[in-house]
Chain A
């Protein structure tokens, strides 16, 4: 990784000094204005335009709006009409614009590493005969066009074998569904109708294609009169566990025993559960809660749980008449993911494939080493990899074909409920790339067709009425109406059966999808690498999380290096000690240890190495030993730590707290802030926040916030204008976890202002504490005097001088043209998305009116899937923020400092504990 230290010797430095007068005598360069030859109708130069499109994650489509300015995609926003966006976004969607401009993207066809052309490839592929044994490797395909193309490909190559696998798979749920119903069904809870949820190792609020959908239902129930009760039994912290009302940490096998106890309560004969007193109390309370809410409940098992437990949950859901819609599986492939990966490896090792096409998958990286995937691929006489990057798999094949980014492609995808939507390009392909559809068409040997025609041809027969009208409407709305999968009548699951867990020694390692890198496919995205993980606040790495009891036993401290051994496979990793994790359990995130890509290579650990010959989500019998030097633990959590103040900073309330409010404002020696037509304020509901980090990446995309890189983070520096703090509040034995997004507080009596010698930190008439970049001389007094530590200093020209920050010209195209790109030596911070306020004000004033409530939506607020962030005008008596400031849960951060912040909070609620509480 490049260092920020300038590579200058004395001679070079003197030469540069000598050249400065010459440079200074030059006037600024002439600028050109290049208008269109023929301007597209309806386009206004320099104004943002929005287009509905679809971004897949693990194959599932989520509909969003892409924002382009003068033809450049700069931002992704939510699409209200799409059921899996609902107007909000997640980290993966927000970061796609950076992936589009990634300078590491593959730009040309390669034959054995040498530059070749598409014609060369087409010629070579022409040598593959129709009776050849062709192997096609893909991820999960939920695109109607691609599915149809693969069917057509089968007709063309009758001996085609299709291997479909996702590293983040749902094999346990699939097997559980087969146990219960005899086939794989798609069980989709109707989240809004549920009063009581019991999660057995499941993480519905965690990162994934359903996060926004579930999060919105969850938070709207929390905001409403009837709060959903959330019981979570889990081994390591998940976002669902942090949001839970009742949570218990226990080993994975014990979590299954809780399922046994609950099932027994409802009449299953599964034998006596092996639970301790805490577990019994938890199971009893959960069972009683389920009993009380019959018909409005849900029991859910996680992906690391045994299939039998999933079957038990299906049985319980039917017994309790849970509001779950059952549909046929959208994934038409019968076999499970892990099985198909193993079949692929076997087929290659046995030389049973004549040609291999790997379409947007990376088996060399994400298959366990025991498959020896690189050597296996070498056995294929003809091997092709199609991908965005020249990744690990691209090195192992003969042909590499560059894939178009999804923002450059036409296509379609289905959401988890079957809702189809179109993928609409925001820009023409930047390089000589093709889409997956086009490449499937190419290998099927038909005439050369582009993905626009292919997608239209797919949908033309089914469209009702005039196709062009139908097509325009589908593009405009971003959703194809009436495409939701048909709901089946609830099937009756078989009587449950839950085998006893085998006795195990050693620790259990749970492998979770990374909250921002997913399975590693986003590892070359610097925003996502520097997005702090929810609980550890770790960036640029994926340390193994160890329970404090295990750490004490082994003499390990936070940041130490450990060696993990399973059978004879060994890997070493940094340790993050995680209070509240079950003893005997380790937890690690996938997505580290890539060996290709200038951003992602060498960052983190590839834990799948430990998995043997399975694509396991849980690895048992792990031996842990302290090791010497190893990868560092880079975390932003302690950058701004205030010891022993958690209860003050993150107060929690049992229920409807009554707080005595000071009616009189205490005196202050600071000048009164000016009053204007608007008084902007933000209220953050910590009860709704699930810690998903969508706001952090949305802020980064909107405000041109640079990435600082791993070395700088290790020095205690970072640039995020909005951080999400995580708190542990100890209540007796129970550790409560909560999240608190912290942007600038915009104090009315701002401590940063009087200390600035050049008045770069000033108030405007609308209550914003603004930072004037061109006045700032970088004394950093304001940062020192800010009690909330929300100011960020550009120690180096982060935004353009290093690999992470966008030294590549292509990355400059991502910048939001409405926001300055700050230079070195300048202080910066959250400005409540001033550019959005300004835009709303100009729009309103052009129409001779004032800004209406809800017209200004900050980037973080727009991204938030749970509506935890509220923004508005305090001068407006019935605005949302004015109302929330009267809420009984309302509080101010560090109120005793009398800074009178405009950003305030609502307390996290915990329902009253009953007598069965484990305290």
Chain B
């Protein structure tokens, strides 16, 4: 009776067994890596807008405050995008004929709103409130990155739940004094941990509730 298996079959069988053990965890790990990758989270993605608004120019060069345009940021969940009227406060006087501002003027003249593409998009089932974060000393740049250096707006952070939890578990690493919230140049000091702890006490941040599901999901 002839041999059914060739000599190499043993090696193949062993390799298959080993791969069966290794592949599923690797596949799962790869999936996690993939979904956390900028490809899936849109991190660093720059989105083309109708009007090529430059934060680098308006915030970095001119030094406008965030609240000049994002009027709801201290009052509401939604920070708000400026109405065309706010744009025209300045641009009815300066750069009145700039070609790139034509859609803004058209919007103002025709009373039709501008359509902006959303850059920072949170997943479904999560409810985020700008005003409470601002009130408790979470700075704009902590989540939005160096906006004052972005010519066109991009999503700087992954906006995954794991990323949110880094701060919700250890807010002392991120909170800053309230008067520095809108400061784009703020960097954590050497003793951030100690100062952060002090701010948590001073701002009455209830840390035990921060990681409850019900804080963000409802």
Contacts and interface: CB of A to CB of B under 8 A. Distances in A.
B135 A32 contact: no
Interface stretch (A417-425, A539-547, A840-848): A840-848
A773 B208 contact: no
A669 interface: no
Contacts of B217: 770, 772-774, 820
B83 A36 contact: yes
Nearest to A818: B127
A766 B209 contact: yes
Contacts of B107: 37
A846 B208 contact: no
Interface string B86-114: 00000000000000000000011001111
Contacts of A677: 206, 208-209
Interface string A41-74: 0001111000000000000000000000000000
A127 interface: no
Nearest to A821: B124
A666 interface: no
Interface in A17-47: 28, 30-39, 44-47
B83 A38 contact: yes
Interface stretch (A431-439, A639-647, A748-756, A830-838): A830-838
A735 to B, nearest CB: 41
A47 B76 contact: yes
B142 interface: no
A270 to B, nearest CB: 62
A90 to B, nearest CB: 27
Contacts of A770: 212-214, 217-218
B176 interface: no
Given A30-B118, A765-B209, A773-B217, A38 B75 contact: no
A846 B132 contact: yes
B129 interface: yes
Most buried by A among B136, B204, B212, B214: B214
B207 to A, nearest CB: 10
Interface in A284-339: none
Contact of B125 (A818, A820, A834): A820
A842 B214 contact: no
A274 interface: no
B75 A37 contact: no
A187 interface: no
A32 B75 contact: no
Interface in B122-176: 124-125, 127, 129, 131-132, 135-136
Given A820-B218, A846-B132, A35 B112 contact: no
A828 to B, nearest CB: 11
Given A32-B117, A45-B76, A770-B214, A845 B135 contact: yes
A772 B115 CA distance: 33
B204 A848 contact: yes
B84 interface: yes
Interface residues of A, number: 38
Contacts of B214: 764, 766, 768, 770, 831, 834, 838
Contacts of A835: 127, 218
Contacts of B204: 845, 848
B116 A47 contact: no
A762 interface: yes
Interface in B44-77: 47, 71-72, 75-77
Nearest to B79: A45
A674 B75 contact: no
Nearest to A831: B218
B83 A838 contact: no
Given A46-B76, A834-B218, A33 B116 contact: yes
A619 to B, nearest CB: 50
B80 interface: yes
Nearest to B210: A765
Given A773-B125, A831-B214, A44 B72 contact: yes
A618 B23 CA distance: 77
Nearest to A46: B78
A785 to B, nearest CB: 20
A846 B77 CA distance: 12
Contact of A44 (B75, B111, B112, B132): B75
Nearest to A819: B218
Nearest to B209: A765
B118 A842 contact: no
Contacts of B81: 33, 35
B6 interface: no
Given A44-B75, A834-B218, A842 B208 contact: no
Given A774-B125, A845-B135, A34 B72 contact: no
A265 B218 CA distance: 61
Interface in B187-216: 203-204, 206, 208-209, 212-215
Nearest to B127: A818
Given A34-B115, A838-B218, 4 more contacts: A34-B114, A818-B127, A831-B218, A838-B214
Interface of B: 47, 71-72, 75-78, 80-85, 107-108, 111-118, 121, 124-125, 127, 129, 131-132, 135-136, 203-204, 206, 208-209, 212-215, 217-218
Interface of A: 28, 30-39, 44-47, 674, 676-677, 762, 764-766, 768, 770, 772-774, 818-820, 831, 834-835, 838, 842, 845-846, 848
11 contacts: A32-B115, A35-B83, A35-B84, A35-B114, A36-B84, A764-B214, A773-B217, A831-B218, A834-B218, A838-B127, A848-B204
